[in-house]
Amino acid sequence: MSEPVERALPLPYAFDVTIGYWTGEPDWELLVQALAGAADPDLGDTSAAIFAWIGALRAGEAAALLRVGNAAVSLTGAELVVSGPSTAVEALVGRLAAELSV
C-alpha cells in the first residue's frame, strides 16, 4: 500500500471571450468536465456525486470530500486538494492537470 499524500492544483477560473478577461469566478463547468473525465465508474464514481459536490461549492456550502477513485478531492481557498494513497493521488492529479491544462 502506498503512503498517504496530499497534492494541490489551482482552481480553474473562467475566461469571458466577449470581454477578453478572466472573470475572477471559478470555471465550474471545466471543473465538472475534468472530474468526470478522471472518474472511474468501476470504483463507484458517479456524475451525480460530482454535480452534487460542485453544486454545494457553488452555493457557498462547506462540501464534504469528493471521492474520485481511491483519492479524495476538496477545495481549500483557490486550490483543489487531492489526498489519499500516493499512487491514486498522483494518477488523479495527472489526469486533472491534463484536463485543466495546469
HEC sequence for the chain: CCCEEEEEEECCEEEECCCCEEEEEECHHHHHHHHHHHCCHHHCCCHHHHHHHHHHHHCCCCCCCEEECCEEEEEECCEEEEEEEHHHHHHHHHHHHHHHCC
- At 77 the pLDDT is 85
**Residue 73 pLDDT exceeds 90:** yes
Percent of the chain having pLDDT more than 90? 42
pLDDT digits (tens, 9 = 90+) for 31-52: 999 999 888 887 777 888 899 9
